[in-house]
Structures are given as structure tokens and as C-alpha cells.
Structure 1
Amino acid sequence: MSETTPITRRASYGPSSPEIGSRGANTRTKIVEVSLELFGEFGFFNTSVDAIAKRAGISRATLYQYFPGKDEIFLELLNVCGRALFRVARRIGPLGPTKVGFDNLNWWLGEWSWVFDKYSTMFVQWTSVAATDTEVLPEINRFTEGYNQHIADRLADCDLHGLEPRAAATAIVALVHRINLLQYTDRVYGRDVETLIDSLSVFLQLFLFPDTPTEVINSLDLRVPPVAAIDIPDAPKTAGLSIEDRTASLTKRAANTVRKLVDAGSAQFAQRGYHRTSVDDVVDHAGVARGTFYKYFADKQDFLIAICIEGFHGIDVLAAQLSEIDISAPGNPELREWLSRVAQFMRQYAGSIDAWTEHRSDSTVVAELGARGQAVLDSAALADLNRHRRDYPFDPVVGAVIFRALVSRLPQATEELTPPLSEDETVTLMMACIARGFFAGGTQT
């Protein structure tokens, strides 16, 4: 999706084809614009070619003159937002532990947020769309790898200490994208974009350059609202919906079958995404008959609810464990062990968590479970972050959101690298993010 690696299209109706003319170019632009609107309103999967043609004021046959289908329109939009991100990245000034370097980082994150907001529909949905067996996934992978490499090349010129540029770039891209997503989906406790960007700037500045003097961080007029507690909502009523409730009166053999279905569903949701996974995918993976699924679950959403209940019970346990760990202690082996457990947990339940994070389910139970799971984990992180004294502006509530983004997204992001990082390397990277970004503290000069 970079300007140097364009997508191959049919020669007769490409955007620069001389056969189109100005009228045809306007029609093509109109198709792309209304598709972005419809994808935002109804989602990629719930938007039909007929709906796009109708809103564009053209026939279905005319639309097919410009695009073979929805996938190609999606790729066109990805090209547009991808080029915007690359343009911003190419304009980054020198980074480093200086006032100019910090100002350049803060500017970059602000511009990145602006691009995300403008093309939020694409950024929110591209993970689920990429999970389909279409030509979209290779293009997204190509863009992600190219963008990560571009950032890594910039970081290689910055005299980093204790960080490998490729790993650092992966952490930055994963965190910024996830924070933007959480802000867009209203998962940041009412913090506005500017407040998020300012505290994220501080975190990333110290992650990259932990020796940054305090006066450098204080050189910008950063926004920090009053410290607030995080309210933990009550757990939703789930009687009869959990795996335990569903299997309480079953034979051991039947309970094992349910367990096979749940494990298969978790794996398929993580691999394909909730929306793209069908009941057939689940039963095929579990090796059971389709009718067996419906003996225990009403439909796919009912199945998701059961998995989410199990997953968010796991988050309660992880949050309780986190509250007993001093995350500020350098090289804390308890933290390292906890992060390893979190990485394994996120791999298992990634698809279910994403279904809530990215608004892929209409279930109020899933939404309420997600809100509680988020708040419980964030509250545990906030307690540790509040104990650390800082001589520079930083919002601990945003810090808790960063911590959640870090542990929920980075394990998956490092698996998407070529070659991927090992689990031990991923945990080491997360340890570095926490130690440097949250607790380097700045230095006095």
C-alpha cells in the first residue's frame, strides 16, 4: 500500500487509465467514497455491491466496470489511507532525547491520530477483513511489514540503546494503532485525543530514550487531567450461560464435547475473526457434527457469550495477580512470568476480545463483560502507576490504557513479523516497554 508498491489492477479500468476519462474518474472516486461511508455504517461484511451501486447512483454493471468486487474497493481504500500514513512517517523530523526530538515525536503521533480518524473505518475493520481468504490479507501484510520497516529504519538512525530497531518499531506501531482504536471505540474513560497523544508521547519518548532529561518532557505544554479512579462496572447476569452452567448436568463425555467445541471456537475466532467464523468452521475444527453444536448453543452469538464469560473470568484472575506484583521493579521475575501467562491467554481468547473491542457483536452481555474486564485490569495497573512519583506530566489513567494495549496487542503483533519473535523475545520486549516507558522517570541536568 505504499506509493512505491501499488496494487496491480485491470489495465482497462485502473484509476489512471486513459480509457476512463474525467467522467469515469469521478465515477470511480464516487464508488470509493460511498463505500467508505457504507463500510463505516454497516461494516464490510454487511455491505453489498448492490448497496454501494445504489448509493453511488449507478448500476451494478457500471460498478463492475471499475471494480471486480468489494475486495478491490477495500484495497483501493487501504491504498489511500496507507499512502497517508507513509506521507506522515516520511515527514518525521529527527528523534532523540532533546526538545526537538520530543516535539517531533509528539507531532508525529498527532498526525497519525488525524489519519486514523479520517480513515477509522478502514483501520477498525482491516483485521477482520484480512481474516477472509481473499487478496486483502497479503496486501495488508505487505503494508504492515513495509510500514514497520520504514519506522525501524528511522529508529536505526536515532542511536537507540538497549532496543533492536525492528522490535521497537513493532511495539510503537502496535501500541499507537491500538490506542487510536480504543479511543475511536470509546474505551479510554472519556480521555480526549489530545490527552491520549500527550501521555502516549511521554511513554514512547522514554521507551525509546530513557535518558531523556525531565526538562525536555516539561518543554511541551502537555495535557494532564486530574487523577481519577477507574470505576469497575458490575458483572452482567450470566446465569445459565457459562460453560460450567451448560455442562453441569451433562455426562463426562458430553461435557468433553462442549469443551472441544469451545476450544475449537476460540481457535477459529482468533484465526479468522468472530464475524468470518461460521458454525461449520467450528464443528469441522472440533471434529463433531453440526447438529451437536446446536444441542448446546442456540447460535454463534450464544457461543461467543459462553467463550467470553470464560475469558473474562480469566481476566479477573490475571488482574488479581497483577495487583500483587510490583511492575516498577526492574527485571521483576514475577512480572515476567505474569506477562508470559498474559501472552498465552491473549492468544487463546484474542478473537473473543477483539469481537468486543472492535464492536463485532451486538450482545449486551459481551459488551458488559468487556467493559468489566477492561476496568478490572486497568484498575490493577493504575494502582501501580499511581505509586510512582514523576517530575513530568503524565496521566496514569492513560498509562493504564497503554498498559492494556501493550499486553493485549503486542503478543499478536510480534507473531505477525517475518520471522516472528519467540514468546521469550516478546515478553522481553514487553518488559522493556514497561520498565522504560513507565518508570525511566526522566533525568535532571
Structure 2
Amino acid sequence: MSENEILRRASYGPTSPVVGARGSRTRTRVVETALGLFEAQGFHGTSVDDIAKAAGVSRATLYQYFESKEQIFIELLQECGTALMRVVRRIGPLEPTELGFDNLHWWLGEWAWVYDRYSTMFVQWANISSPGTPIPEMASRFLADYHERIARRLTASGVTGIDPVDAAVVLTTLVNAANYTRHVDGAAGPAAGRTAGQGSGPGTGPGGARPAARSTPISTEHLTDGLAVLIQLLLFPQTPPAVFAQLGREIPTPRPPSGGERLWSAPSAAPASTSAQPPGPAAPAQPPTPVSSPVAAPRPDDRFAGLSSRAGATVARLLDAGVQCFTEKGYHQCSVDDVVSLAGYARGTFYKYFDEKLDLLVALSDRALGAITELDERLRGIRAAATPAASAASAAPDPGDLRDWLGAVATFALRYLGVTRVWLDQQPHHARLDEVRRVMSERLHTGYATVPGGGRWPHPLDPRIASIAFFTVLERLPEALVDAAPERPVAQIVDVMAAALDRTRLLTGVSLPVAPDLP
């Protein structure tokens, strides 16, 4: 045997002292190629071979610079995170005054610019939050630091009535979800009306399917205005209505940030004419949005309806194991062996009822959509029972009923994370999944109109923005709160959801109970 030990050459990391100009160009080309493929094919749809081939290098060369595609993604996320931290440092004083609202509006504008600059990373970040990779752990550390910095600023600004870190989590969840929706809607463009089965890509909707045809996508400026109203109320519910009158004036124009300067240019002096709204009484609160019919859901799959009680129990056990595995490991990391191990069955039992893992996912997707439909109907029932025809504007539901409903919503959102992540992701493709994604996209944009007794705000608010915010609190906030505090019980999650809905006036006329430990 030879005494000469065979060693692998050291890799060329971003700070490697041995990589030269040529290696640096190769490394940059690999990163830029990966970014383009992540946008075109999605993270899960892109392999190391795809990146190497598109970058014009061999797999061996790529592995000299990066251990995996996850490491490439992490490097891109770090660059994106640095830009977000700069945004936090730019926040001016926040307060229930015109100056405070101006500062909040500018900050949200900067945030929107950063989102557009790194839109591929934000979209894919939402799509690959599944466990089983180093990305969620790294993202969780960044978000914890990010939320803490925002919380310190909120504390210094005098925000009360809600825990500052919880307020920071609600704020970032609302802003990221709204900008995500704006981006995928805008990317769909004229193809927004394309049918769900025609594929997905960078122009896909919140669930990976293209949004159904609807009105013009929400512009950045319009979205910033609406978010500013909601977040100002989240932080300072006591803000005088006159503060929001400035939204009728000229809105500053965004420009990219540079060293130390403000992203938003100062507004030009308003001419002495009636076109500028003077401070004073705000526009009258808009009437409640008329109740429209819910979005039609696809017909559920009834293939298990004729099973015996014993076979039905077996299927139910496999479905429970599947949803647990998808949530804990993520769909792409979970295998059939993992599912049958959790269920306590053999592989043969699984294949007796399901063709493959995708077939199990489709069945779970149908089950999840059915649960959402039931929860929506339950809310409408609670609101309708408390809203007699003679006093529709003043009646309020029992807070206990609403709190029980929020608890059921939070429990569902946490249990079915593995399924709802697939709705957000562009992978895998299946006609039935695409149909569910279409339904969920329509619900996200228009479902708030089906909730009796919608919100009343001190400034007119686009119902689409209200709808996006409402369903973000219901469906994405529970996961964000658990990520921030993994041991947090559901009851405390409900406390924060209730406070967010109450303070933003997304559910009005309801006295929502808040836990005593919230300041």
C-alpha cells in the first residue's frame, strides 16, 4: 500500500485566500446561474447538475466552491439579510403622529424596494421553509435577530398593549406576505387568467398556481399605502384619523438606497390649492363590504367513501402519519418508508390505498381544503348569529366563540404546515393540487368580502389588501410565532392573533380577550 495519503483539494469558499481572479469569476457565475434557475424552476426543481450545466462547469468544479445547492442559497440569503438589516437601521421615530406615520411609510417603501431587488430569494425562502435542510435553521437565527432589532425600536417608540417581539413578528409577516403576493401577481401579468393546469413558474400565485383573472395587480405604492394604515393601527391603535389624511397628498417617489441616504425622496411642497388635503377630519369610514359568495372549491375526492370501518381506520392512520411527516420533515424530505414507519404499517399496506407519495399528498390536500372550508363557514355562522337583520351594523359575536374559532384556525395551520407549504411551492405538479392552489389564491384576494361585518378604517383601504392581511394573520402568523418561540402554546398564539385582528380592525365590533401576561 502506498504511504502517500490522497487528499481532496480545499474548497474555494467566499473568503478563501487561494482563489484567484479566474476562480472568483467562476464562483460568481455559479451563484448568478443558480439564482436564475431558482427563479425559473424553483429551489426544489433545480439540481446541482442543472446549475453546473447552465454555468458551464463540471460537478467537480462546482463542488470546489459549494458543498450543495443549499449552501449557494444560504450565501444569497445572507446578502439579502444584510440589505434588510440596513432597512431596520433607517427607521425613523414611530409614533401616532403625522411624522411617525411618514417614517413608517418611508420604511415600508424601503422594504418594498429591497423585496423587489431580492424577489427571487424572498419567494423561494417562502417555498423552502421545510425542515430537513440547513436553510430553516439559518433563517430562524436571522429572523430572531431581525425581530429583536425591530422590537427594540418599537419599545423606544412607546408601543404598548402588545409584546414588542410579537408585534415585530406580526409586522414582518404582514409585510412579507403582502409583498410576496404583489410580486407573484405582478409576475403573472396578462397570463393571470391562464388555467391552473398549464404549469407554474416565477409568475405563479401564492400556492404555485397562476392567479385567476382579476383586476389590475396591486402597485407598490398602493400596497405601501394600505400596509402603512394597517401597521400604524397595529402599533398605535389610538392614532387620530387626521394623521391618515396625508395619504391624499403627493406620495414620495422611491429610489434605491446608497451610503447613508434616505431611500425615499422628500415630497415636493404642496401647492396652495384644493388638491392638497388639509389636516382635519378624515374621510368617512367606508361601509362594510357586502357579503359575496365564497370561492367555489373543487369537489372532494370520495374514493375512500365505500371502505369498511377497518379499512377506513387504516387510511385515516396513514393520512395522519403523512401529515405529521410532511410537517416535521417537509414533503420533499419525507419518504414512504417514513410514513409507514410512523403509521406502524408495511409498505404493502400503503400501496394498497395510495399509488405513491404524491397520491398521499393529493388526498391530504383535499382534506386540508375541506377543513378550511368548514372553518370559513364556521366564522360566517358566528358572525351571522350575532348580526340580526335589524342591527347588522352594531351586533357583535360572543368573544368566546370567536376565540374558539381562532384556536381551531391556529391548530389547523400548525398541523397542516407540510401541505400548505406545498401549496406555496411550485413543486410538485398535479392537476388537483393546481386547482386547490387556484382556489386558495382567489380566497386570499377576495375571501375577506365573504366575512360579515368587515373592518372600518380611518382611511379607505383596498379590500384586496385587507383580504391579504386578514388571511395572513390566520394562516401564516401561527407558523411565524412558533418559529420565534417553539414552545409557545396555542392559547398564546391565539392571544397574538386576536390582538393583531383587533388592533388592525380586520375584525370589528368584537372585544377580543388578551392574555394577562401581554403588557
TM range, normalised to the smaller chain? 0.7 to 0.9
What corresponds to 1:235 in structure 2?
297
Q: Which runs of 4+ in 1 moved over 4 A?
A: 222-233, 326-331, 373-380, 383-389
CA contact (8 A) 1:103 1:220 kept: no
1:338 aligns with 2:414: no
Query: 1:208 is matched with which residue?
Result: 235
Q: Deviations over 1:28-87 (max 9, x none)?
A: 211111111111222223322222122222232222222222121111111111111111
The alpha-carbon deviation at position 426 of structure 1 amounts to 1.2
What residue number does 1:321 align with?
Answer: 378
Are the counterparts in 2 of residues 343 and 407 from structure 1 also a CA contact under 8 Å?
yes
Larger Rg: 2
Instruction: Give SS of 1:277's match.
Output: coil
Show the counterpart of 2:36. Answer: 37
The share of aligned pairs that are identical, in percent, is: 43
CA 1:389 to 1:237, structure 2 compared with 1: closer, same or farther past 3 Å? closer
Q: How far apart are the structure 2 equivalents of 1:297 and 1:194?
A: 48
2:51 match: 52
Q: Which residue of 2 aligns with 1:90?
A: 89
Amino acid at match of 2:425: E
The alignment status of 1:372 with 2:434, answered yes or no, reads no
Q: 1:99 to 1:36 in 2, by over 3 A?
A: same
Structure 2, unpaired ranges of 5+: 1-8, 186-205, 252-282, 387-394, 509-519
1:273 and 2:272 aligned: no
CA distance in 2, matches of 1:333, 1:22: 66
Bigger mean CA deviation after superposition, 208-217 or 382-391 = 382-391
SS at match of 2:16: coil
Change (3 A) 1:179 1:284: farther
Provide, for residues 139-185 of structure 1, a one-character-per-residue CA deviation record: whole Å limited to 9, x for no partner. Answer: 12211111111111111111012011111111112222222233333
> In the alignment, what sits opposite 2:512?
none
Normalised by the length of structure 1, the TM-score is 0.86
Q: Which moved more, 1:381-390 or 1:409-418?
A: 381-390
Q: Which residue of 2 aligns with 1:349?
A: 416
CA deviation profile, 1:299-341 (whole Å, cap 9, x unmatched): 2222222112121111111111212334995982221111011
Q: Counterparts of 1:70 and 1:96 in 2: how far apart (Å)?
A: 43
Cα distance, 1:127 vs structure 2: 5.2
The root-mean-square deviation of aligned C-alpha atoms, in Å, is: 3.0
- 2:252 is the alignment partner of 1:195: no
Q: 1:98·1:216 contact (CA, 8 Å) conserved in 2?
A: yes
- Give the letter for the 1:219 counterpart: Q
- In the alignment, is residue 409 of structure 1 matched against residue 436 of structure 2? no
Distance apart, 1:392 and its partner CA: 1.3
TM-score (norm 2): 0.75
Call closer, same or farther: CA 1:157–1:24 in 2, change over 3 Å.
same
Contact kept, 8 Å, 1:89 with 1:151, in 2: the verdict is yes
Asked whether the 8 Å contact 2:66–2:72 carries over to 1, the reply is yes
Contact in 2 for aligned 1:266/1:348 (Cα 8 Å): yes
* Displacement after TM superposition at 1:393 (Å): 2.4
CA contact (8 A) 1:230 1:379 kept: no
Q: Deviations over 1:89-111 (max 9, x none)?
A: 21111111122221222222222
Give me the whole-angstrom Cα distance separating, in 2, the residues matched to 1:230 and 1:409: 24
One-letter code of the match for 2:95?
A: G
CA distance in 2, matches of 1:376, 1:128: 19
1:218 paired residue among 235, 245, 256: 245
1:180 maps to which residue? Answer: 179
Alignment partner of 1:261: what SS?
A: helix
Question: 2:431 corresponds to which letter in structure 1?
Answer: T
Q: Per the alignment, do residues 78 and 391 of structure 1 end up closer, same or farther by CA in structure 2, a change over 3 Å counting?
A: closer
Change (3 A) 1:200 1:229: farther
Tell me the equivalent position of 1:21.
20
Aligned length: 427
1:72 maps to: 71
Instruction: Name the structure where helix makes up a greater proportion of residues.
Output: 1
Counterpart Cα distance in 2 of 1:164 and 1:428: 11
| Structure 2 letter corresponding to 1:395 | D
| Shift in CA distance, 165/103, structure 1 to aligned 2, threshold 3 Å | same
Measure the CA separation in 1 of the matches of 2:485 and 2:457: 38
**Matching of residue 255 in structure 1 with residue 312 in structure 2:** yes
1:114 maps to 2:113: yes
Alpha-carbon contact 2:456-2:505 (below 8 Å) kept? no
- Is contact 2:369–2:436 with CA below 8 Å preserved after alignment? yes
Amino acid at match of 2:150: I
Contact 2:39 2:120 in 1 (8 A): yes
For the structure 1 residues 56 and 220, does the alpha-carbon distance in structure 2 shift closer, same or farther, using more than 3 Å as the test? same
2:363 is the counterpart of 1:296: no
Which moved further from structure 2: 416-425 or 143-152?
416-425
Q: Report the secondary structure of 2:382's partner residue.
A: coil
Q: 1:331 to 1:253 in 2, by over 3 A?
A: closer
Gaps of 5+ in 1: 1-9
